[in-house]
Amino acid sequence: MTGYDDRDGKIWMDGALVDWRDAKVHVLTHALHYASSVFEGERCYDGKVFKSREHSGRLLKSGELMDMQIPYTVDEIEAAKKQVLDANGLSNAYVRVVAFRGAGPDMGVAAARNPVRMAVTAWEWGSYYGDAKTRGAKLDIAKWKRPSPDTIPTDAKAAGLYMICTMSKHAAEAKGCSDAMFLDYRGYVAEATGANIFFVKDGEIHTPLPDAILNGLTRQTVIGLLKDRQIKVHERHIMPEELEGFEQCWLTGSAAEVTPVGQIGDYNFEVGNLTREIAEGYEALVRS
């Protein structure tokens, strides 16, 4: 496959469209050394980015939580996304917006004088978990744990929070799994490396309370779909030994959309009717 740095097309950087291969930063960019970066992953369906303004607002909030003032408004970010999609002729695509501290007069932990830069990219991207949408994804259980909110701003969609995600997903793939599920610092079920998690038992839904994880926009959307169907949703702390009693499981995320899970560690789940109903309902909603 062609590398992501070697493609045709346009990328929006700092207010202007540039050729894809020219979208570069200096090796002393602060974000490269100290993870001073926040981002959003979004999907465009039939020319419309789902919950686009909510994503743009969350990007700005993530910047604030990281003490990094992003120099663009929601309207300006929205306009940049449209420019990128139009310039690349895309109507169904994955959209990535990233804001980061660039190179500047500071090169150490502190970097208040360095500019905050932003880029917007988009590309065609199919199912995040391949054929798992039909057979169910297989998950490992990560050895790392999601950190406490008093150690890092867990409400931010920040690059540094994904370090253990990369390591955990690599370890999972080496075992033949699609992804890994985290526990949090207290030992409760948390989430996958880039997606929230839901369980079904006796026709009701159980999902981790988002008090140490990102409360995903897709997660919120799916909870809304469930409540519209009069399905009881329990947002609560879930112990790992409870997995044995759950019947179905799925993941949610902008990239993952709604993906069934067939196995987590030694626990197996049915790809059942409720899982399929919610996946189909989500697909219909994002294209409505």
Name residue 69's amino acid.
Answer: Q
Choose the catalytic residue: 157, 201, 227, 232: 157
Rounded alpha-carbon distances, angstroms, from residue 215 to 25, 116, 209: 31, 25, 9
In the chain, the largest separation of any two C-alpha atoms, in whole Å, equals 59
Q: What is the DSSP letter of 103?
A: S
Query: How many Cβ atoms are within 10 Å of 273's Cβ, its own excluded?
Result: 10
Q: What is the DSSP letter of 75?
A: H
Active site residue 61: no
What counts of helices (H) and strands (E) characterise the chain?
7, 15
CA distance 55 to 208: 22
Residue 122 has phi, psi (to 5 degrees) of: -155, 145
CA distance 237 to 80: 39
CA distance 29 to 87: 27
Catalytic residue ranges = 157
